[in-house]
Structure 1
Amino acid sequence: MTIKLDYQTVKNLKAPGRYTDALVKGLHIWVKPNGTKYAIFRYNYNNKQHNISLGSFPSLSISEARIKAQQYRDQIDSGVNPMDIKNTAKKQSEQVQAQKLTFREFAAECIKTKRAEWTNQKHGDQWEYTLEEFAYPIIGDKHLDEITMEDVLEILTPIWTTKTETASRLRGRLEWILAAATTRKLRSGINPAQWKNYLQTILPAPNKVKKVVHHKALPYRQVPELIANLREMTTMTSLALEFTILNASRTGEVIEGLRTEVMGDIWTIPASRMKARKEHRVPLCQRSLDILAIAKAMDDESKYLFSVKGKKLTNMAMPMMLRRAKVDATVHGFRSSFRDWVSEETNHPSEVAEMALAHTIGNKVEAAYRRKDLLEKRRSLLVDWESYCSIPAQNNIHELKVA
């Protein structure tokens, strides 16, 4: 049926069917059985019929439909198939969409770039861990220009008051990555992770909710059982964790450790890797030497004490092992376990324990007198600690509960 289409006429159409516009050749209104109405441009090109959807009525007005239909009619008159142009435009749009980086992809590029300015590998590991743990599950696969403040709040809100320091640092990392995306014109508008005059109007200030929390330490009486479990695993991470515990070392000291630093039964950690910026000698007990031999056999060509295919363990390898084992403690906390054991179970002098932990001496007078590193006394201490940690593995002792 050919009629002059206008708003009121189309609005009153009830019977399903196709209604042809009297003014623009090829423009039709199709009325579906359910009452919905669509503007269609219908034409023949090289003896083949084509239909191009223009939009639904009344979202698309009749005048707008005529303009679109006439543009297609002009293309036909100039020898061009409108469907070819439409398909080409669609492909270009799909290619542009495919070229859009996801947040995960762009964040990886940013971390790779920033590693050049970080003197400590730990920073990069922390960036990767916090993004992987908290951000990627929510925005990892989103395109950069799709990320909103609501997304950022979904990431931060669950941990803002329980893991405030981590959440605050993560917010800063998100802001930096999204700012870099804006600079590269991969997104526009306000940075959804911006704090000043933006998120600060919604989230409480970190310094108002932050609580000072000490590193969680496993009670020293539970350490032997953990050591026994680690020895059953015999993975590179379990070896590194046991070595760290036996020597009351810090994570960075161990994962950055080089085989060339071990001479005989002495491991010399350079000042650059020590918190106090002072070289530290560690007397290695027999189990520590055995651990290093096993680690070398597992990755013979590596320069690191602990590595996989020549690559040192990440800063998060040991914490993640503790998490998977459901051990409610931090790697650093085992230094406290060691210190508690020394105080409560041994007669070793306090200054020997402090030196084993490579703690800075606050008293300048005491520091001046304590010029030697008490190596042999520390060796005796660490041998006793190794013996204590090895009790379950050697004697298979079980705690019996009296009924």
Structure 2
Amino acid sequence: MSRPLRVLSIAHAAVSREAGRLRYAPFGGRTDLDVHLVVPRRWHQFGRAIDADPPDDPGIRVHVLPTWLPKAGPMGWYLHIYPGLRGLIRTLRPDVVHLWEEPWSFVALQASLLRGPAGMVLEVDQNILKRLPPPFEAIRRFTLARTAHVLARSPDATAVVRAGGYAGAVTPIGYGVDTRTFRPRTESGPSDVLRLGYVGRLVVEKGLDDVLDAMARSRVPTRLAIMGEGPHAPHLRRRIAELGLERSVTFAPWAAPAEVARFFHACDAVVLATRTTGAVREQFGRVIIEAQACGVPVIGSTCGAIPSVVGPGGWIVPESDPEAMARLLERIAADPGERSARGRAGLRNVAERFTYEAVADALAQAWLAAASAVSPSNERLTPGAFCAGNQD
């Protein structure tokens, strides 16, 4: 019997349905794809342990597997592997193996060794080129040499895999946003204070010091609400006291997505002022599209992918430039019409580029291209042609 294209996607980020797994939901309505998803039973990230959501997602088959080395040493999640992966691949015999993992990770090496005749697709975020210590540089080159297609989060991420020896096709891919949770607010009443928000890790690279300095320099009353946790929090509190901003800045811990959406609804603008360092260049900035989906414009820095993701739905200031940000705050505080216009542009930006349907389309195109690249005739396949030409 003919069958649809069988894909095995491996993604630690899909451990939670509230985060990475939602982008697989659109495949539930497709008959040309048989999508299987591997996620870890438990994932450790940023000091938190996340247990996998139940594997009952409609339209796809989720395999919740234990991992080895889930949080080993300073390399974090790059060392984990799935001891049950060999048996699963032998059972499924996938046409494509897709990894939402970096090419130097142990799980990417594991999949490239076990995939058999399946075409391999890598989805990459890393956007800073650096030579990796042994054995990771060798793993990167080994994996990229066996990859049929790359999905890249940014042009910088493409440049990194090219430098690692990859010469094949690349498809751009963004993140998706859950527009059922992050949705436009009802119009809020006028305020005599410009209300800024930040959601994310409290680390020095995120540039919150620059935001505080801009608030202190600005001639308009501004408040900043911070949601998140991290090692830079004590320094930020001291800096707030030094600048006399104790009544202008509030802190809140991590919260569920619905609470984050309500947090955005109380903001006039959201800030993401990341600074470039030797180890950090903003790879995407998911908070940007979550805020924009709520109709809230974003003030972003020039770091990494931020300007491209923000698009017309906000403003860009030079990174590490509090004076430029202070002048922008004064301008937008005086012009609520501009804030509203940028908020509407952000909604369009999300609808055109960052829905889960758009992400699913990019995934499907890459999977089909990878299957075509490893087919005996090396012909470009359509879903219907693949179903007719592959037998169980």
Question: Which protein has greater RCO, CA pairs closer than 8 Å, 6+ apart?
Answer: 2
Larger Rg: 1
What TM-score does the superposition give when structure 2 sets the normalisation length?
0.27
